Amino acid sequence: MRKVCVIGWPVAHSRSPLIHNYWIETYGIADAEYVTFAVSPDGAGDTIRALRSFGFIGANVTVPHKETAFAALDRHDAVAKRLKAVNTIVTTAKGLEGRNTDGYGFIANLKDRAPLWKASAGPAAILGAGGAARAIAAALEDAGAPEIRIVNRTPSRAEALIRDLDLKSAKVCSMAEAARALENASLFVNTTTLGMKGESDVIVDLDLLPKSALVTDIVYTPLETGLLRRAREAGHEVVDGLGMLLHQAVPGFEAWFGVRPEVTGKLRKLVLADMAGK
C-alpha cells in the first residue's frame, strides 16, 4: 500500500484528499491512498520526521506546519530552502526530502488560465507578506518579473520578506501607497485572506493599474472575489485562485506515484461541487 497524507491542524477541511484520490482513480494507481492526518502543533516536528513509521511514503503539509516541516527535515529542494517552508514531502533514496510547490502552482495556474501573460512584461504588485506572498514573490522573480512591489499593512513584514528571500529588485509599500504601487505594473495579486467569505474585500483603487495588467487572487471561496469582480468590470484579465490549489498538487503526485497528473476542467468541477456542498 502506498499511503500519502496531508498534515495540518485542523485538516478536515483540506481538499487535497479529493484531488489526489481523484488522480489515483483516474490513472489507475493500484494500492494507493491519500488521507488526512491531523497533527497538533505540539510535537509536529517529531511526527513529521517519523512519517515513514506511520506508514506514509510522502505527505503534503498545510497550515500551521509548513515552517515546522522545514525545520524538522534534513533535506530540502532549492525552493523550500529559499522559503524555509515545506508543503510537500517525498521519500528519496537518501530519506525524506522537503519541497515547496506553492510558487510553482501559482505560476502554472497563470500559464494555464492566462497563457499570453508574461512575468517579464512589467513590475508585479503583491498584496500581503505572509507565507503565500513569500512563495509567490520568489516564483515571480524566478519567472522574470523585473520588479516586485510588496504592499502590506505591516511594512516591517514586507521588509523581512525581501531580506529573507534576497529579492533583487523589490520595494515595500504601505497600504496608503497601495494604489500607486499599481502604476505600470503587469500583475496585481492578493495573497491575504481579504475577500474570503465573511471577510472584508480588498479595497485598493485600481485606477493606476494599466488595463493590460492581469489581476489574480489566491482566495478561491468565493471563486470571484470582490477584487476580481472589480478588476473584471474595469476591463482587466482575471484569474481565480482555485487553479493554484490544483497545480501545486501536481509535482507531489508525480513524485509519489510516478505519473504526472493533469489539471482538467473535470477536476476543477469536482472541487467546485465539493465546495458548493459545504
What residues line the site for ligand ATR (CB under 6 A)? 128-133, 152-154, 157, 191-194
What is the bridge-based pairing of β-strands 148-151 and 124-127?
parallel
For residue 45, what is the enclosing H or E element? helix 44-49
The three cell numbers locating residue 202: 480588498
Determine the 3-state secondary structure of 66 from DSSP.
helix
Mark residue 36 as left, alpha or beta (left: phi above 0; alpha: psi -120 to 50; beta: remaining). Answer: beta
Q: Which residue is closest to ligand ATR by CB?
A: 130
Please, which residue, 57 or 244, has the CB nearer to ligand ATR?
A: 244
Residue in this structure with the C-alpha cell 471563486, named with its chain if needed: 223
Please, which residue, 191 or 216, has the CB nearer to ligand ATR?
A: 191
CA–CA separation, 79 and 265 (whole Å): 28
Q: Whole-number minimum distance, CB 81 to ligand ATR, in Å?
A: 18
Task: Check: CB of residue 123 under 8 Å from CB of residue 144.
Answer: no
Is 66 in the active site?
A: yes
Q: Whole-number minimum distance, CB 146 to ligand ATR, in Å?
A: 23
At a CB cut-off of 8 Å and minimum separation 6, what does 101 contact? 79, 87, 88, 248, 249, 250, 251, 252
Catalytic residue among 66, 118, 211, 278: 66
Please, which residue, 106 or 257, has the CB nearer to ligand ATR?
A: 106
CA–CA separation, 181 and 175 (whole Å): 9
Q: Whole-number minimum distance, CB 138 to ligand ATR, in Å?
A: 13
Task: Check: CB of residue 137 under 8 Å from CB of residue 148.
Answer: yes
CA–CA separation, 50 and 235 (whole Å): 51
Please, which residue, 109 or 191, has the CB nearer to ligand ATR?
A: 191
Q: Whole-number minimum distance, CB 53 to ligand ATR, in Å?
A: 29
Please, which residue, 67 or 237, has the CB nearer to ligand ATR?
A: 67
Q: Whole-number minimum distance, CB 61 to ligand ATR, in Å?
A: 13
List residues with catalytic annotation.
Answer: 66
